[in-house]
Amino acid sequence: MVLLIDVGNSNIVLGLAEDGQIQKTFRLKSVLSKTSDEYYFQIRPILEAYPIQDIIISSVVPIITSALKKVFVNHYGTTPLIMGPGIKTGVQLKVDDPKTVGADIICDVAALKGLADEAIIVDLGTATKYIYQKNQVFHGVSIAPGITISMQALVNRAALLPSVELICPKKVIGTNTITSIQSGVLFGAASQVDGMINRIKEELNQNDLKVYATGGLAGLIVPLCKNELIHLKDLTLQGLLKIYELNQKEQL
């Protein structure tokens, strides 16, 4: 069994994979101040409950990468495979500075091998990313503030506006403060997604491009969009698994 770890700015998603399939997932909060020992006590029940033989980490938070590496080196005597230089991904990076491309983006693109030759990926996480790939070549991305941090910025800067639960209201025009904020945040995010998809398709002159959605907030936004989006909940982990399998083949 392989333990897949996707470290994002808001959450750490752990996946257990066997026979090329993700069997189970777990989520932890990404906390910069946590020590490796604190992460160890969170992860230990998973490690003790399942026959894990290998570990691979994709991360956009270096300090958490270091803490997790210490967990496995200090407590289990094993060094996890970490996305970075020397790791085969199967993804070409056709951008100005390939070194700046996040591991999460590379995993998202890798996941589409065998699913779509050409596609847009909308990754709705801490940031909202609009990724364009063709034949496993990453051609670029648009990055916008994520839904949660946009709402937090609104609440922090507007004294009379409260933080609200992200639940879709029944109407676009709100009749109280809570539904008004929910409408603006969620319908506004869906409209941004639709608008960006349309602009990318127009720029590429490709009206029939497939669009995939992933990320922690995709389940909320996809039903509100007018474009057709294929929701793949564990897309980043699927890509990480494909990268792991590719590197195992390279070692044979």
State the catalytic residues: 104
For residue 154, how many other CB atoms are within 10 A of its CB? 15
> Is position 126 annotated in a ligand binding site?
yes
> Is position 121 annotated in a ligand binding site?
no
> Is position 8 annotated in a ligand binding site?
yes
> Is position 79 annotated in a ligand binding site?
no
> Is position 128 annotated in a ligand binding site?
no
**Strands in the chain per DSSP E:** 2-7, 11-18, 21-29, 54-59, 81-82, 92-93, 118-124, 127-134, 137-145, 210-214, 230-231
> Is position 52 annotated in a ligand binding site?
no
Buried b (16+ CB within 10 A) or exposed e, 101-116: bbbbbbbbbbbbbeeb
CA–CA gap between residue 73 and residue 187 (Å, rounded): 45
> Is position 6 annotated in a ligand binding site?
yes
Can you say whether the dihedral through the CA atoms of 98, 103, 108, 112 is positive or negative? positive
Asked if 108 contacts 121 with a C-beta cutoff of 8 angstroms, the reply is yes
> Is position 5 annotated in a ligand binding site?
no
> Is position 11 annotated in a ligand binding site?
yes
Task: Supply angle C-alpha 234, 239, 245, rounded to 5.
Answer: 125
Annotated binding site for substrate, which residues? 102-105, 177
Q: Give the annotated binding-site residues for ATP.
A: 6-13, 126
Annotated binding site for K(+): 123
| Residue numbers belonging to the annotated binding site | 6-13, 102-105, 123, 126, 177
